[in-house]
Amino acid sequence: MAAYAEFARFYDQIMGDRTPMIERVRGAIERYQPGAASLLELGCGTGAVLAGLAARDARLRVTGVDRSPEMLAGAAARAIPGACLVQADITSFSLGTRFDVVICVFDTLNHLPEFGSWVTLFGRAHAHLADGGLFLFDVNTTGRLRRLGEAPGYVEKFGPHTLIMNVTPGAGGLSLWEVRIFEHIAGDEFRLRHERIGELGVPLARIRAALADGFEVLEAAGPDGAPATDESARAYFACRRRGAAR
């Protein structure tokens, strides 16, 4: 899984406004888990989603887990009231407590390069959810990853810096993202920041099958709200925990 050591300092600038994701999560909580008092984010990054959710509901106790110390430093700098931030692998952590909601957003799941790790993460989410708790996550679909691999490289200016990203299809559904950031230093001087990020594409039917033992899938929607397919740009899952903790 990508460590984001080079990418972390630029992450918020590149990702921009996270309000649409925050509102999507809030909407799902209001539909399926109103009154939720605690939330855990797996792969919380710089904490923008946690901060947004906490700001909109002062009753919500939020916790974030991420393996990257650089990303967690950004989350800590936000000084989210009452937040607990934990440096750990999202496939092997154990917090000894349960939450009303667990989220894993911005295609964090795709960053796990083997599907067995996805299944393990589903187990960790199940173990950390209260009975009937809500599990929300999204994925880049196999169709979107295929299209990105067929497209020319992506170039974006942000502030004085430049991002260049190329996606190359690999074996077994794994795409390699070559991310190069040319950090402007002064004048004509730039520093190259380079990170390789893998994303695994998994058919939605296989994801549903892996969830079946521990979760009821309440919805799996595309960006437009229609049922997601493998050709959708993204699939947003809302799942209800069922059964005993694993």
Using a pLDDT cut of 70, give the percent of the chain over it. 97
Residues 147 and 217 grouped into a single domain: no
* pTM of the predicted protein model: 0.94
Residue bearing tokens 């810096």? 161
Residues 164 and 130 grouped into a single domain: no
Residues 190 and 214 grouped into a single domain: no
Residues 110 and 230 grouped into a single domain: yes
What's the confidence (pLDDT) of residue 2? 54
State pLDDT tens for residues 54-107. Answer: 999 989 999 999 999 999 999 999 999 999 999 999 999 999 999 999 999 999
- Section 165-190 average pLDDT: 94
Residue 1 in domain = no
Residues 110 and 40 grouped into a single domain: yes
- Where residue 7 falls among pLDDT bands split at 50, 70, 90? confident
Asked whether residue 182 carries a pLDDT value surpassing 60, the answer given is yes
CATH of the domain at 122: 3.40.50.150
Residue bearing tokens 């299944």? 119
Residues 183 and 210 grouped into a single domain: no
Residues 95 and 45 grouped into a single domain: yes
Residues 219 and 102 grouped into a single domain: yes
Residues 78 and 182 grouped into a single domain: no
Residues 116 and 24 grouped into a single domain: yes
What's the confidence (pLDDT) of residue 246? 44
Residue 246 in domain = no
Residues 218 and 187 grouped into a single domain: no
Asked whether residue 239 carries a pLDDT value surpassing 90, the answer given is yes
CATH of the domain at 150: 2.20.25
- Where residue 244 falls among pLDDT bands split at 50, 70, 90? low
What's the confidence (pLDDT) of residue 3? 57
What's the confidence (pLDDT) of residue 243? 74
Structural domain count of the chain: 2
Residue 211 in domain = yes
What's the confidence (pLDDT) of residue 8? 82
Asked whether residue 6 carries a pLDDT value surpassing 90, the answer given is no
Residue 224 in domain = yes
- Where residue 245 falls among pLDDT bands split at 50, 70, 90? very low
Which stretch of 10-19, 65-74, 126-135, 178-187 has the lowest confidence by average pLDDT? Answer: 10-19
State pLDDT tens for residues 14-59. Answer: 888 999 999 999 999 999 999 999 999 999 999 999 999 999 998 9
DSSP code string of the chain: ----TTTHHHHHHHH---HHHHHHHHHHHHHH-TT--EEEEES-TTSHHHHHHHHH-TT-EEEEEES-HHHHHHHHHT--TT-EEEES-TTT---S--EEEEEE-TTTGGGSSSHHHHHHHHHHHHHTEEEEEEEEEEEE-HHHHHHHHHSPPEEEEETTEEEEEEEEE-GGGEEEEEEEEEEEEETTEEEEEEEEEEEE---HHHHHHHHTTTEEEEEEE-TTSSBP-TTSSEEEEEEEE-SS--
* Domain extent at residue 187: 143-200
- Section 151-176 average pLDDT: 94
Residues 212 and 191 grouped into a single domain: no
